[in-house]
Structure 1
Amino acid sequence: MNDCNCDFTPMERVLKEDIRHVIDVLQNSLDEMGVGNDNYCLLGNFENVKDKFSAIELKAATFYLNCYLAPYTDKYPEISICAQKLSNKRHGGLIVIQREDSLSSLIQSGITINAELTHSLLESIFYPGNPLHDGAVLVNKNHIKSAANVLPLSNKSAGDKKLGTRHRAAIGLSERSDALVLVISEETGRVSFALRGELYPITI
C-alpha cells in the first residue's frame, strides 16, 4: 500500500511501540527456553504474539483506510458509522468508493440514486429484504451515485475456504482499478477493504 499521502509519523510511532512489545515477548520466550524452565508453555506465548500481530494489522489498516478515502470524499465519518452499524447487525454491505479510474466499463450498472451520502441512506439500502441490498453501492465524491451494481469477481480464495461473493467482488474490482471497496460480512460482521487486489481487515 504505497499511494497513501497522509502524515504517517504519529501512527508510525504507535506501530513501532507495538512491534517492539511483540519483540520483547519473543525475546522473553527465548530467555525462558534458554534456562530450561519445564513449567514454561511456549504455545501460550505464540497465541499471545499472534493476537498482538492481528491487532497491529487492524490498527494500521484502519489508519490507511481513512488516508485513502480522504482525498476523494468528505464522508468518511458517514461511511464509518454505516459500516459499524451494519457490522453490529450482521447486515452485509458492499461500498465502492471511486477514486481516479473510471469504473463505467467495469461495473454492471444498477439503480441510479444520485443522492448525498448519509449513513442512514446507506443503511437503508443494505437492509435485508431491500431489493437493492445484494449489489454494490457506488460512491463518487460525496454522493451515492447508484446501488445494486454488479462488480467483476476475482478468482482469489482464502486458503481452502473460498471467499464469499461480496469479498470476491470487492477484490475483483480492486484488481482492475484503483477503486477502494469496503465490504461487510453478513456471516461474521467483519469489516474489510479491498485495494489493489488485496483484502485488509479493519476496525470501525
Structure 2
Amino acid sequence: MTPMQGDCDSTPLRQSLKTQLYTINDQLLAMIQSLDDEEHCLLTEFEAVRASFVQAESKAALYYLNCYLSPYTDCYDELSRFIYSMSARRHGALIAVERKESLLPLLHNGTEIRARISRFLLEAIFYPGNPLHDGAVLIRSNEIVSAKNILPVSDSLSVGESYGTRHRAAIGLSETSDAIVLVVSEETGNASFAVEGQLYPLTVS
C-alpha cells in the first residue's frame, strides 16, 4: 500500500500507533531475553504478542485510510463516524470513494442521490429494508452521488471463500480502479477498506 499525498496529521491516532508498536517491541525484547531461562516457557506469551500485532495493524489501517481519503474529501471524519455506527449495529454497508479515476464506467444501475455527505443520511440509506441498502454508495468529493450501485466482483483465486458479496465487490472495484472502498459486514460487524486489491481491517472500538 503506497502512502498518498495529503493530510496525514492525525496526531492522536499516530501517537497511539507508535505506543502500540513500542509495546510490541518491548514484548519481543522480553521474550528474547527470557529464552536464556530454561524454566520459562514462551508459548503462552505468543498469543499476547499476536493480539498486539492485530491491534497495531487495525490502528495503522485507520491512520492510512484517513491519509488516503483526505486529499479527495473533507468529510473523512464523517465517514469514519458512519463506519463506527454501522459496525456497532451490525448493519452492512458498502461505499466507493472516487479518487483520480472516474468510477462511472465501472458502476451499474445506481440511483441518483446528489446530497452532501452525512452520517445520518448514509445510515438511512443502509438501514435494513431500505430499498437502497443493497449495492454501493458512490462518493465523489463531499457528495453522495448515488446509491444501489452494482460493483464488479473480484474473481481472484486469492480472495478467500469466507468473503461475502460485499467484500468481493469492494476488492473487485479496488482491483480495477484507484477507488477506496469501505465495507461493513452485517454478519460480524467487522469493518474494512479495500485499496489496490487488498482488504485491511479497521479498528472501530
After TM superposition, is the score higher than 0.5? yes
Where does structure 1 lack aligned partners over 5 or more consecutive residues?
none
How big is each residue's C-alpha offset from its partner over 1:39-89, in whole Å with a ceiling of 9 and x where there is no partner? Answer: x33222100110111111111111111111111111112211211111111
CA distance, structure 2, for counterparts of residue 170 and residue 65 of structure 1: 14
What amino acid maps onto 1:30 in structure 2? I
Q: Using the TM superposition, give the Cα deviation of residue 12 of structure 1 relative to its aligned residue in structure 2, in angstroms.
A: 6.5
Moved more, 24-33 or 164-173: 24-33
Q: Using the TM superposition, give the Cα deviation of residue 9 of structure 1 relative to its aligned residue in structure 2, in angstroms.
A: 10
What amino acid maps onto 2:186 in structure 1? E
CA contact (8 A) 2:137 2:149 kept: yes
CA contact (8 A) 1:91 1:185 kept: yes
Question: Alignment partner for residue 25 of structure 1, among 2, 7, 27?
Answer: 27
Aligned ranges 1:124-139 → 2 under 5 Å = 124-139=124-139
Length-normalised TM-score, structure 2: 0.89
**Percent identity over the alignment?**
49
CA distance, structure 1, for counterparts of residue 88 and residue 180 of structure 2: 22
CA contact (8 A) 1:171 1:199 kept: yes
Aligned ranges 1:153-168 → 2 under 5 Å = 153-156=153-156, 161-168=161-168
Matched positions, count: 202
What amino acid maps onto 2:32 in structure 1? L
Q: Does 1:76 align with 2:76?
A: yes
CA contact (8 A) 2:91 2:126 kept: yes
Length-normalised TM-score, structure 1: 0.90
RMSD: 2.1
What amino acid maps onto 1:103 in structure 2? L
Structure 1 81/161 Cα, relative in aligned 2: closer, same or farther at 3 Å? same
Structure 1 130/16 Cα, relative in aligned 2: closer, same or farther at 3 Å? closer
Structure 1 200/114 Cα, relative in aligned 2: closer, same or farther at 3 Å? same
CA contact (8 A) 2:8 2:64 kept: no
CA distance, structure 2, for counterparts of residue 111 and residue 4 of structure 1: 30
How big is each residue's C-alpha offset from its partner over 1:144-183, in whole Å with a ceiling of 9 and x where there is no partner? Answer: 1110000001124678643111010000000000000000
Structure 1 30/184 Cα, relative in aligned 2: closer, same or farther at 3 Å? same
